Amino acid sequence: MDRKIIGERLKYARDELRGMSLQDVAEASGVARSTVQRYETAKIQNIKLPVVESFARVLNVNPAWLIGKSDDMEIPSTNFIDTSLFPNIFPLPKTKKVPLLGTIACGEPVLATENIEAYIDMDSDIHADFALRCQGDSMINARIMDGDIVYIRKQDIVENGEIAAVLMDDCSESQATLKRVYISDDKIRLCAENPNYQDMIFFENDMNKVRIIGKAIAFLSAVK
């Protein structure tokens, strides 16, 4: 399967046929905007079957056409792809929906409706309560990249050195940040996994501003 063909057909169907933006496709398919763009620019080697079907459904085209296995753009009467024909397409495991948190209002329960940006799929074997989209490069040495989805188990205590989702309750709204957490009697230290970032250290009363909302237990990263 030629990833260049997939990229060209995906871009053609999105842009010229449907007049949709990358963000439009991302929101409708549940795939990150940056990932849609990487498919279009042929930077992802293998494309997962559920992603093919999701793109095809959003763009109203034949999935087999989208991956270059058919010249017929029309959706076939049988609404599936024969995976035996495509060895580098593979199904995902069973999934369940979890909330993807956006901006979190201080004082509100973490999983309040106001804090939920969307619901996304998660492998049913992962025991997490919600997810966050990583922003920036502060955790790259933990292999967590900008745009990755990180799954979080809700808890307010973690062991020293574990990666946690943390809120700083000194504003009306905030984004949860991912950091390695170290807690002692007199301070809390939040450490990035990138030497370009300094540790965030909180002493005495300022320790009360730091709120752990969960432990990072898994993440989903796009193939680059």
Residue 103: what pLDDT? 72
Q: Would you call 48 a catalytic residue per the annotation?
A: no
Residue 79 has pLDDT above 70, yes or no: no
Q: In the predicted model, what is the mean pLDDT of residues 172-193?
A: 88
Q: Which residues contact 84 (CB under 8 A, 6 or more apart)?
A: none
Task: Identify the band that residue 194 occupies on the pLDDT scale cut at 50, 70 and 90.
Answer: very high
Q: In the predicted model, is pLDDT for residue 34 greater than 90?
A: no
The reported pLDDT for the residue numbered 215 is 95
> What number is the average pLDDT over the span 15-22?
88
Can you give the pLDDT at residue 217? 93
For residue 189, what pLDDT band results from cuts at 50, 70 and 90?
very high
Instruction: Considering the candidates 43, 54, 154, 179, report the single residue annotated as catalytic.
Output: 179
Mean pLDDT calculated for residue range 61-90: 67
Q: Active site includes 138?
A: yes
Which residue of the set 138, 154, 209, 224 is catalytic? Answer: 138
Q: What is the pLDDT of residue 49?
A: 76
Nearest by Cα to 155 from 217, 106, 202: 217
Asked if 166 contacts 182 with a C-beta cutoff of 8 angstroms, the reply is no
What pLDDT digit, counting tens, does each position of 123-167 carry? Answer: 888 889 999 988 889 999 999 988 889 999 999 999 999 999 998
Q: Nearest Cα to 70, choosing from 58, 92, 52? A: 52
Whole-number average pLDDT of the chain = 83
pLDDT for 214 beyond 90: yes
Which residue reads 């025991």 in tokens? 127
* Beta strand spans in 62-186 (E): 95-101, 104-105, 116-123, 130-133, 149-154, 163-168, 173-174, 177-183
**Residue % of the chain over a pLDDT of 90:** 31
Name the band, by pLDDT with cuts 50, 70 and 90, for residue 85: very low
The per-residue pLDDT for 136 is 87
